[in-house]
Structure 1
Amino acid sequence: MSDKRLGVIGIVVENRDAVPQVNQVLSNHASMIIGRMGLPYRQKDLAVIALIVDGNTDELGALTGKLGNISGVTVKSALTKGS
């Protein structure tokens, strides 16, 4: 197991039909999510989610990869170098 990393993951959901899939992925990875803030941006018909996470690179890669494979979802992350 690699070192744990603290990070921020930004998620933009442009396809509102993808929200249940996004929530399912986040629920499946809840153990490494420290905090979550979700905001609907009604004027542009999208949603923005910010996650604070703590996990190893394999776990974080699995989370971002699964989210990034959902149509209409964009994911970006910034992680510490390790602890």
Structure 2
Amino acid sequence: METRVALIGILIDDSDAVEKVNQILHLSSRWIVGRMGIPYHARNVNIISVVVDAPQDEISRMSGLIGKLSGVTAKIAYAKLPSHEA
């Protein structure tokens, strides 16, 4: 199965959505290389950067589920690396 390295950037404006985002990330934990969360209190937003090495379908699924949550935005940036067999 071919995998790609990507960064999923997540912005959470609604604190009620934090637990739901973490649940989705937990379900996809096998693909996560690392993550960093920053609570930006001055602007009342939580910022999460998630690095994944996963099949493109899985990356899209994860980002899509997160992005559908109310008060949450998710975007993907793919590394310009060749695909890798997992």
Q: TM-score, normalising length from structure 1?
A: 0.93
State the secondary structure of the residue aligned to 1:62.
helix
Q: Report how many aligned residue pairs link the two structures.
A: 82
Q: Distance in 1 between matches of 2:70 and 2:55?
A: 25
- Is 1:46 aligned to 2:45, yes or no? yes
Deviation at 1:48, TM superposition (A): 0.2
Q: Which residue of 2 aligns with 1:18?
A: 17
Name the residue aligned to 1:5. Answer: 4
> Counterpart of 2:69 in 1: which secondary structure?
coil
- What 5-or-longer segments of structure 1 have no aligned partner? none
Rounded to whole Å, the distance in 2 between the matches of 1:48 and 1:80 is 20
How far apart are residue 79 of structure 1 and its match?
Answer: 1.1
Three-state SS of the structure 2 residue aligned to 1:70 is coil
> What SS is found at the alignment partner of 1:25?
helix
- Code of the residue aligned with 1:46 in structure 2: it is V
Distance 1:71 1:8 in 2: 21
**CA distance in 2 between partners of 1:63 and 1:51 (Å):** 11
User: What is the CA-CA distance between 1:80 and the residue it aligns to?
Assistant: 3.1
Structure 2 unaligned blocks of 5 or more: none
- Tell me how large the CA RMSD over aligned residues is: 1.1
Runs of at least 4 residues off by over 4 Å: none
2: distance between equivalents of 1:63 and 1:41?
Answer: 23
Matched, 1:56 2:55: yes
